[in-house]
Amino acid sequence: MTSVPWTLFAIGTEAILLFSIGLATATVGFWITRIAELQNITEDAARTAAQYPLALYPKWLQSLLLVVVPVGFVSYVPSLYIVRGEYGVWLLAGTALAALLCLAGSLAFWRYGLTKY
């Protein structure tokens, strides 16, 4: 078992990841005015996919959920460390790095969208 600070750290990185996905989806609204269906795909479906272990999905979908829409980092990857203690603190550091990269990318995309508004 891990300590409470690491659990809170994981929750913070998960929140950043979900915010980044939502911001990137909202940015698409600069070009496509009706994004409700896109939000369903990227946010609701992503949260649903994050509820289950990545090992249940085929390899191609695991890659998609870790790279394209990184919801694998939202619950599954941190839980490997928090529940099982697998891979050490570096696993949480990798999750934080993924969250920061997603945040930077979505903010850059948002700024680009503002210039086209």
What's the pLDDT tens digit per position in 91-115? 788 889 989 999 999 999 999 999 9
Mean pLDDT of the chain: 85
The model's pTM is 0.82
Give the residue among 83, 73, 81 at the shortest CA–CA distance from 49.
73
Round to whole Å and give the CA distance between 93 and 89.
Answer: 6
Query: Does 2 score more than 70 pLDDT?
Result: no
Asked if residue 1 has pLDDT above 80, the reply is no
What is d(CA 92, CA 105) in angstroms, rounded to the nearest whole number? 20
Long-range pairs, 88-93, Cβ under 8 A, ≥24? 89/6, 92/6, 92/9, 92/10, 92/13
Q: Distance between the two ends of the chain, CA-based, in angstroms?
A: 48
pLDDT range class, residue 75, cuts 50, 70, 90 = confident
Name the band, by pLDDT with cuts 50, 70 and 90, for residue 43: confident
The set of residues, in sequence order, having a beta carbon less than 8 Å from that of 17 and lying 6+ positions away, is 70, 71, 73, 74, 98, 99, 102
